[in-house]
Structure 1
């Protein structure tokens, strides 16, 4: 297996490597997956691209993104962002897989409204096992959007092309955001278990003394333990509780701080260090923003 990571910086390079026809647009391309033959020589080769991708496939296609392998037996939508590593785990014959893959370069949207909001679509950083499962109706709607984009990039490029393509992409992404919200809702029971696990891990982290030794935990600490990506976990928490992961951690800190301020005689600075703050004034600022009082004022009032 080739351990080197090959970079695909552009649409033209993507077409060249995989022997596709010359692209009709320099910054965006839609590939018919049924016509994508992947020979054995590509198995195990790792790739990273400078492209965003959106893919709809009808079953497992032998692709691995990051740490997880795409292994579904139904149509799902997966998203990847520039810089993510993927690899082919098995050869693919013509007509073996049905679906499409849409690739676009960041330059396509850089001077468009979508260019300033693309990072808000967190699902570009979800793990592959957090893919979006579509109903038949949803799948048709998404595919119709892709069809509009295909018509545009197949026609002669004019002064309106970039605006039309970017707007169509934005519509597709907003639909995906809506459908992900539906998916969060239908998985509410399982999501509640994840929220419970999050709070358990947060409490255990505090009991172990890790706040003082390592500082407050980041979202990745919890994501690794519940086997989700950081962005997916953060979105799940926001959907289920109304609070982001950072809000949960800060609220936990304030709750513990109130207990320590009233139960111990340690100085405010000592309590700040115990809660993971290297600089006590950061702790005081957070405490006041959440309670309307400084730690000392809270102590004096109670």
Structure 2
């Protein structure tokens, strides 16, 4: 698979006009000749595609806007040219990962999990949201096409970061609008977690990560995590550990087996780690829970 290291390489590969900035570009005109081979890049990509009037509406889940969609692509993602090509009302924003170096976004970019969502987990925006995103893009475009100076990068980054913060808000709105999907994802996760604990897989396979549960629902790990955090206030890791401690309390109450064996049964390789987690979550060590006073606490 071809890897494109620079913004210029990406533009050449896709038949786009050369970028005005070697580290950042905004593209709204696309070549009809798309390369077929898949590729990856060192750039963050934002794809905004506004549905044209007269186009048939896509078949979307209940509660989903059909005005168009945004997709966010992380550096290193395996993609095709078709995945980032948009219609006449759309655009693509390209930012090389080094464009953020020395800036706040160099660290905070990792908190915008939607860059690692699957295509099916795109943001389907409302009309007012599309207007706001387009407005921010226009402000970045002014800096992009004007003669750059010492202020240009900071101004572009301020609008870029504002766009990401708005998108995070819009995803929360989408989770709320698609409550049937959100509820379904949450219920299936609970069911899969209960099955995993009851089946003895903890002892054989260890404590599962978000990727395990995401694969069962054909979701990206970050999307699953964000949906569950929206729904429950807890991450996948939090929910798994809460369930493990609940099971530990059950075993401590009803079983004579040792704390070491309980820790092993629950997927902990070291008893010390289990004891520390139990103490952190319950406020006292597991051996105390076995006393009448501990069980009443």
TM-score for the superposition, normalised by structure 1: 0.88
Q: State how 1:130-209 maps to structure 2 within 5 Å.
A: 130-209=121-200
Counterpart of 2:58 in structure 1 is none
Aligned mate of 2:288, from 278, 288, 297: 297
SS at match of 1:265: coil
Aligned mate of 1:37, from 31, 45, 58: 31
The whole-number CA distance in structure 1 between the counterparts of 2:116 and 2:78 is 12
The whole-number CA distance in structure 2 between the counterparts of 1:279 and 1:263 is 22
Counterpart of 1:219 in structure 2 is 210
Q: Is the 8 A contact 1:58 1:73 kept in 2?
A: no
Q: State how 1:1-302 maps to structure 2 within 5 Å.
A: 5-32=1-28, 35-39=29-33, 42-43=35-36, 45-58=37-50, 74-88=67-81, 97-300=88-291, 301-302=294-295
Number of residue pairs the alignment of both structures matches: 280
**1:115 shift after superposition:** 1.5
The whole-number CA distance in structure 2 between the counterparts of 1:176 and 1:115 is 18
Which blocks of at least 5 consecutive residues in structure 2 are unaligned?
A: 53-64
Counterpart of 2:61 in structure 1 is none
Displacement over 6 Å in runs of 4+: none
The whole-number CA distance in structure 2 between the counterparts of 1:76 and 1:27 is 25
Change (3 A) 1:38 1:86: farther
Counterpart of 2:56 in structure 1 is none
The whole-number CA distance in structure 1 between the counterparts of 2:32 and 2:177 is 36
Q: Deviations over 1:226-253 (max 9, x none)?
A: 1211101101011111111111000000
Q: Deviations over 1:256-302 (max 9, x none)?
A: 00000111111100000000001110000000000011110111233
The whole-number CA distance in structure 2 between the counterparts of 1:96 and 1:184 is 26
Which blocks of at least 5 consecutive residues in structure 1 are unaligned?
A: 61-71
Counterpart of 2:55 in structure 1 is none
Deviates more, 1:229-238 or 1:10-19: 10-19
**Aligned-residue RMSD, C-alpha:** 1.9
**1:59 shift after superposition:** 5.5
Q: Is the 8 A contact 2:49 2:70 kept in 1?
A: yes
**1:198 shift after superposition:** 0.5
Q: Deviations over 1:140-162 (max 9, x none)?
A: 11011011111101111111111
The whole-number CA distance in structure 1 between the counterparts of 2:87 and 2:108 is 36
**1:38 shift after superposition:** 3.7
**1:21 shift after superposition:** 2.3
